[in-house]
Amino acid sequence: MSTRAINNWEILSQMGSLRTGRESITGDFHHSTMAAAAISVSAAAAVARRRSPAHIQLVARRRLPFCTAASAAPAAATGFTWADALRVASDAGVGDESDLSGYFRKVDICNRGMDKKGEFVEFLVEDQVVGYIHKGFTGHLRDFRDVFTIVPGHNGNNTVEHVTLHSSLRTPEDRTIAIGDVIKGLGDLIPGIRNELYPVTSSYGMPVYFSLERAAAPYFGIKAYGVHMNGYIEKDGEKSLWIGKRSDVKQTYPGMLDHLVAGGLPYGISCKENVIKECEEEAGIPRSMSTNATSVGAVSYMDIDGFRYKRDVLFCYDLRLPVDFVPNNEDGEVDSFRLIPVPHAASIIRRTNFFKENCNLVIIDFLFRHGYVDPDCNGYLKLLTSLRGGDCS
């Protein structure tokens, strides 16, 4: 589930505060503003070129091979109700618990297209690899020469070795503003703009080179981080998970089953504070409860679909809730909640596509840690390892 948008200027101010020495914040901001103004003029010219009839036809031709259902919700998101999910859940315990094939299929769904990795080139900032960009998508970036530098391969200008940023973009603030203008200029090539910024780093905890619109992250192949929390109760020795059903008007994965609490990790907030914030927004869990959420590891996956290269790491949390607690959504992103016994939730994962895809991985991880998957099951270790099949760094 998405986090609330963070004010871009607040983020830029935070990025400026990371500077060392006695630089003037006012001077830095003035420098960034002047640089941004210069970039904006160039971006405006690029946008004008992109709106010409000839260019619109070119974009249409480029997009056709990649107009897949990647940005739309899976078919399973429409046409199922809680009654359908609970009907499947009630069939748990019929003897297929040791069959892990249903879990493997869910892992595979999150890790598609690795045979297409050769179609991407490295995206470098300060000589560090921060992402991967499809060779076809670089054609759209050539219009923004004052922002991106397309480095040709040794075979001539028809090949691309890597993509980097223009040398004039020296600070995180300048880069964030300039690339933000590019994202606007690309228009509907990048659907689902959320006005949420993700930090761009080479790996978790490393310096932030700039911040990027969340919806654009897969098109630049940057690592995106999130938090997912399993909210559960235990009564009479049996555990049950609180499961949410996403709103039918959600921009992504409408109507699908989801965690009690989950969200992307935006710039300038810790994982734990993000969990606490999301707990209040998405489930009405007060801080007095959510501070007890326990970090239990991470899962990762890599998924290629057309121009999109998702490299996601999800930090996992568990929170044992009081048996009388009832969640209440505060931000309108969840239609309703149900308390489902863990074996029943496992049955829904094995037999349906009702869950949002990456939630499957986090719940499967929960099943391992809480003893619902037996080491004697065929494929136990392979499944366990596959939950961290992405670049978990």
Question: What single-letter amino acid sits at 128?
Answer: Q
The whole-angstrom separation of Cα 70 and Cα 60 is 17
Tokens of 318: 């568990």
Q: What is the mean pLDDT of the chain?
A: 84
Given this model, what pLDDT does residue 63 score? 41
Tokens of 343: 């074996």
Strands 156-165 and 148-153 turn out to be antiparallel
Given this model, what pLDDT does residue 366 score? 98
Given this model, what pLDDT does residue 194 score? 87
Question: What single-letter amino acid sits at 210?
Answer: F
Is residue 247 within 8 Å of residue 257, measured between CB atoms?
A: no
The whole-angstrom separation of Cα 345 and Cα 127 is 45
Q: How many residues does the chain have?
A: 393
Q: Which residues of the chain have pLDDT under 50?
A: 1-36, 39, 46-47, 51-77
Torsion of CA 179, 183, 184, 187, to 10 degrees: 160
Given this model, what pLDDT does residue 91 score? 74
Is residue 245 within 8 Å of residue 356, measured between CB atoms?
A: no
Rg over alpha carbons for the chain, rounded to the nearest Å, is 22
How many Å is the maximal CA-CA distance in the chain?
A: 70
Given this model, what pLDDT does residue 60 score? 41
Q: What is the 3-state secondary structure (H, E, C) of 77-116?
A: HCCCCHHHHHHHHCCCCCCCCCCCHHHHHHHHHCCCCHHH
Given this model, what pLDDT does residue 84 score? 94
Neighbours of 145 (CB within 10 A): 13
Given this model, what pLDDT does residue 376 score? 94
Given this model, what pLDDT does residue 8 score? 46
Residue 363 burial (CB < 10 Å; 0-12/13-18/19+)?
buried
Given this model, what pLDDT does residue 159 score? 85
Given this model, what pLDDT does residue 255 score? 94
